[in-house]
Structure 1
Amino acid sequence: MTDVLNTMVQAASEAAQALLALYDPASRPPDREAMYALGTKLEATSTSVVRSALDGVDGVGWWDEDESGREVPPGRWWVVDGAEGAVNHVHGLPEWGVTITLVTDGQPELAVIHQPIGDLTYTASRGQGAYLNGSPLHVSAKTDLSAAAVTASQAGSSPEVYERFAGAFAAMASKALLVRNTIPTVFPLLGLAAGQYDVFWQYQPDLPGAASGSLLALEAGAVVSDLSGGAWDVNSADILVAAPGLHAAALEVLA
């Protein structure tokens, strides 16, 4: 699988450079229409680079939410976001990049995330650890939720989910040191893998970010589950990722 991972790294890097060529820190779109037009261009530009690089890998299909719905069927699939954090890119913010995950029978197997601002490449292979630019990542050693930096990522869902999220946010804020909500999904998970954050949760997870980021966190030592405490896969309705010393306490608050 080393050759496949290397191909993924190259694809993510080349696609991210295409995004960087379109990046303007002074960008301030005036309305949703302008944001959508810019985001669509970013996604199309980057994804074409990724597809060109990965189409030669045998036995792996391309998952497309617009074509197949949110569920990922059994088998091996590329789950890609060519412009993870496009809303940040079009507003001149730095947290955006390319995520590529190889999913096998519902479980992330290989993941690469490249963030060109800072030239940051995150990689993970199931059972082989998680790395940032070749250096191993490790989750937090905290065991006290009152000292925890907690993150969530909730956007573009439904009134029912918003109401549920608001209650959970308030409950967690009463127990943790701090709680923040950011998008896209992958960046708080990368921070958790690096020990900068301690707990993450999301309802109706954004799949490309959750698939790649959860594998990075898992391989860095985190516990990954759904919000009932059961095993998580890419078709789960929600996700909780936490440092091992905090997972049970976070689950109690959120379950």
Structure 2
Amino acid sequence: MHPYLNIATEAAQAAGKVIRHYQERFDQISVEHKGRNDYVSQCDLEAEQAIIKTIRKYHPNHAILAEETGRQKGDDTSKVEWIIDPLDGTTNFLHQFPQYAVSIAVRENGKLTHAAIYDPVADELFTASRGAGAYLNKFRIRVTEQKSLTDSLLATGFPYHDFSYIDDYLASFKAFMTTTAGIRRAGSAALDLAYVACGRVDGFWELNLKPWDIAAGALLIKEAGGLVTDFNGGEDYLESGNIMAANPKLYKEMAQVIGKTISKERRR
């Protein structure tokens, strides 16, 4: 295992320890509103600090992009950035709905190179390094070989605080709903992407996400043999927040639906 992935794993498990602590102490959690349907809890903040502390122990000069504390510039000579979501699925966590995860990715010279997603409820650790494959608890994982939308199970995320694109989203949702075996919306994009990587769902699409939501999951899927793009078929999903992922056989059909249902303006 690459040293950076070892650190990501250690950091994810440290955050998981914080999350498990609060799983049994919901009455002790303080919560703030960042915006409409957008929350940050004491657990989010402490989990993020546990991750950052772990990274800083080994690499005090690396850059960090974290959901709660923002961007911390690093030593430009290293050109390494850690992309952190300490608790993806905060709303689920606050309602004791057991679908949330820690997500950590490493970006070097602008390319994603390592990823760790940890589900503290199921004790499942998804990991990947560029060119070295993707794993679930040290066992190799692959995307499905599903060939057709008709028999596929997709995952997605609903708009929850920015509803400006809801009509486009609902058009895509209707099209996929009527052409697939089913759609799941569990509330954690990081885990949805991890599930594409390990074959629990065949594909995923969502609009308006943040880099920390999808960076680790995107690398997992690529290393598990899948395709990950923005809605124009490009590589700008971390910037646009629009992401589509599937195995190579199913990707083309999904892209056709996205192209027909989501406007050019929203596909940027």
Instruction: State the TM-score bracket (shorter-chain normalisation).
Output: 0.7 to 0.9
- 1:128-207 correspondence to structure 2 within 5 Å: 128-207=132-211
2:101 partner letter = G
Instruction: State the identity as a percent.
Output: 23
Separation in structure 2 between the aligned mates of residue 66 and residue 84 of structure 1, nearest angstrom = 11
State the Cα distance separating 1:173 from its structure 2 match.
1.4
What corresponds to 1:50 in structure 2? Answer: 51
State the Cα distance separating 1:58 from its structure 2 match.
5.6
State the Cα distance separating 1:23 from its structure 2 match.
0.3
Deviations 1:10-55 (A, max 9, x none): 111111111101103987x9x986xx99842011111111111101
Whether the 8 Å contact between 1:23 and 1:90 is mirrored in structure 2 is: no
Separation in structure 2 between the aligned mates of residue 88 and residue 25 of structure 1, nearest angstrom = 15
2:146 partner letter = K
Q: TM-score, normalised by structure 1?
A: 0.87
What corresponds to 1:40 in structure 2? Answer: 41
List alignment gaps of at least 5 residues for structure 2.
260-268
Q: TM-score, normalised by structure 2?
A: 0.83
2:148 partner letter = D
Greater shift, 52-61 or 11-20, is seen at: 52-61
Deviations 1:56-99 (A, max 9, x none): 32652011467768xxxx94311111112121111112212211
Change (3 A) 1:81 1:26: closer
Separation in structure 2 between the aligned mates of residue 240 and residue 157 of structure 1, nearest angstrom = 20
Whether the 8 Å contact between 2:117 and 2:194 is mirrored in structure 1 is: no
Whether the 8 Å contact between 2:207 and 2:241 is mirrored in structure 1 is: yes
State the Cα distance separating 1:118 from its structure 2 match.
2.0
Whether the 8 Å contact between 2:115 and 2:219 is mirrored in structure 1 is: yes
What corresponds to 2:14 in structure 1? Answer: 14
Change (3 A) 1:38 1:17: farther
Whether the 8 Å contact between 1:173 and 1:179 is mirrored in structure 2 is: yes
Change (3 A) 1:174 1:113: same
2:151 partner letter = A
Change (3 A) 1:15 1:68: closer
State the Cα distance separating 1:236 from its structure 2 match.
3.1
Separation in structure 2 between the aligned mates of residue 65 and residue 26 of structure 1, nearest angstrom = 22
State the Cα distance separating 1:230 from its structure 2 match.
2.1
State the Cα distance separating 1:158 from its structure 2 match.
2.6
